[in-house]
């Protein structure tokens, strides 16, 4: 699918990898982006930086059915279509199965991570796909592309990441059945499992901790550049034969237990 002039929904698009991808798609590829995020201040700043003709922001709770439907309706009202959905929104609340004094973790902690990272992802994917089905197929084949963001933690979760790893493994699990189903209407579904990236949050990490993170990366011996993530998204969108795939984007990193 050609990216120029296409409409791309990006959840978690007001910061980190999502924001970097929004800038890349607008500035490098000529797309229009709709940012779904809870942070209204950051979202409005992103629209100001990208230009109101190229971008819009909707404060969205991805785990809430009505919130996502309202956000999708807003995109259709402004841009008239959704061609691509990139699900970056997620939380990484870390906690152990057994906490202090050997007590079981509160179930609500686990449920919250599932609600955002997995239920929320399905919520946005399904409502975006409903709109993609209305598009005229490009080159007689494609009506839309979904990119769901997993994590290296889906494969090698660290201690304290049971909830996060479970949800990111769930993203991989829904990848193929969704691709098989939505392929019938010309919508491809893929996933990216990023490793360690130099996000603004990572840039603030103590030097000693940063060195320990870089030590886990095989080659190149550094954290990933956010533009490399955005470029991977564009590759998936533009290559019509990539479908039902999970791409590990991690410099051959294999995460340690702790």
Average pLDDT rounded to a whole number, residues 240-247:
98
Query: How much is the pLDDT for 209?
Result: 82
Main-chain phi, psi angles of 248, to 5 degrees: -80, 115
Q: Quick one: CA dihedral 19, 23, 29, 30, positive or negative?
A: positive
* DSSP-based three-state secondary structure for 4: coil
Joined tokens for residue 222: 């550094």
Flag whether pLDDT at 120 surpasses 90. yes
**Contact (Cβ atoms closer than 8 angstroms) between residue 147 and residue 237:** yes
Active site members: 164
Query: How much is the pLDDT for 153?
Result: 93
Flag whether pLDDT at 207 surpasses 90. no
Structural domain spans, the chain = 7-197+224-249
Joined tokens for residue 198: 């130099």
Main-chain phi, psi angles of 36, to 5 degrees: -105, 120
Average pLDDT rounded to a whole number, residues 136-162:
95
DSSP assigned state of 120:
H
* Distance between first and last Cα of the chain: 40
Query: How much is the pLDDT for 257?
Result: 83
CATH topology of domain 7-197+224-249: Rossmann fold (3.40.50)
User: Which residue in 73, 70, 48, 52 sits closest to 61, CA to CA?
Assistant: 70
pTM: 0.95
How big is the chain by its Cα radius of gyration, in Å? 18
**Contact (Cβ atoms closer than 8 angstroms) between residue 13 and residue 37:** yes
**Contact (Cβ atoms closer than 8 angstroms) between residue 141 and residue 71:** no
Flag whether pLDDT at 130 surpasses 80. yes
At residue 231 the predicted structure's pLDDT band, cuts being 50, 70 and 90, is very high
Question: What digits encode the pLDDT tens for the residues 11-47?
Answer: 999 999 999 999 999 999 999 999 999 999 999 999 9
Query: How much is the pLDDT for 84?
Result: 98
Average pLDDT rounded to a whole number, residues 178-207:
92
DSSP annotation string for 9-50: EEETTTSHHHHHHHHHHHHTT--EEEEEES-HHHHHHHHHHH
Percent of the chain with pLDDT over 90: 86
At residue 256 the predicted structure's pLDDT band, cuts being 50, 70 and 90, is confident
User: Which residue in 95, 53, 90, 58 sits closest to 74, CA to CA?
Assistant: 58
- CA pair distance 100, 106, nearest whole angstrom: 12
**Contact (Cβ atoms closer than 8 angstroms) between residue 143 and residue 135:** yes
At residue 136 the predicted structure's pLDDT band, cuts being 50, 70 and 90, is very high
* DSSP-based three-state secondary structure for 37: strand
Question: What digits encode the pLDDT tens for the residues 59-111?
Answer: 999 999 999 999 999 999 999 999 999 999 999 989 999 998 999 999 999 99
Query: How much is the pLDDT for 100?
Result: 87
Flag whether pLDDT at 201 surpasses 80. no
Flag whether pLDDT at 142 surpasses 90. yes
Query: How much is the pLDDT for 203?
Result: 83
At residue 208 the predicted structure's pLDDT band, cuts being 50, 70 and 90, is confident
Strand order in the sheet with 55-59: 55-59, 32-37, 7-11, 84-87, 144-149, 187-194, 246-249
Flag whether pLDDT at 138 surpasses 80. yes
- What mean pLDDT value characterizes the chain? 96
Burial of 53 (0-12, 13-18, 19+ CB in 10 A): exposed
């Amino acid at each position: 699918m050609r990216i120029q002039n296409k409409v791309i929904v990006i959840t978690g698009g007001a910061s980190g990898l999502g924001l970097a991808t929004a800038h890349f798609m607008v500035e490098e590829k000529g797309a229009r982006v709709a940012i779904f995020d809870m942070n209204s201040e950051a979202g409005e700043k992103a629209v100001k930086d990208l230009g109101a003709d190229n971008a819009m922001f909707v404060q969205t709770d991805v785990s809430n059915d009505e919130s996502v439907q309202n956000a999708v309706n807003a995109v259709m009202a402004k841009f008239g279509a959704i061609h691509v959905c990139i699900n970056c929104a997620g939380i990484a609340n870390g906690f152990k199965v057994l906490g202090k004094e050997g007590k079981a973790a509160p179930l609500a902690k686990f449920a919250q991570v599932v609600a955002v990272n997995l239920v929320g992802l399905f919520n946005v994917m399904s409502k975006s796909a409903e709109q993609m089905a209305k598009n005229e197929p490009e080159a007689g084949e494609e009506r839309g592309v979904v990119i769901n963001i997993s994590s290296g933690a889906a494969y090698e979760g660290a201690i304290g990441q049971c909830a996060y790893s479970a949800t990111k493994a769930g993203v991989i699990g829904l990848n193929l059945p969704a691709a098989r189903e939505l392929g019938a209407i010309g919508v491809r579904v893929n996933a990216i499992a990023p490793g360690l990236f130099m996000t603004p949050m990572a840039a603030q990490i103590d030097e000693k901790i940063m060195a320990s993170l870089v030590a886990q990366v095989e080659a190149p011996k550094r954290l990933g550049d956010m533009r490399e993530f955005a470029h991977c998204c564009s590759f998936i969108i533009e290559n019509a034969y990539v479908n039902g795939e999970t791409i590990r984007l991690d410099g051959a990193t294999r995460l340690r237990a702790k």
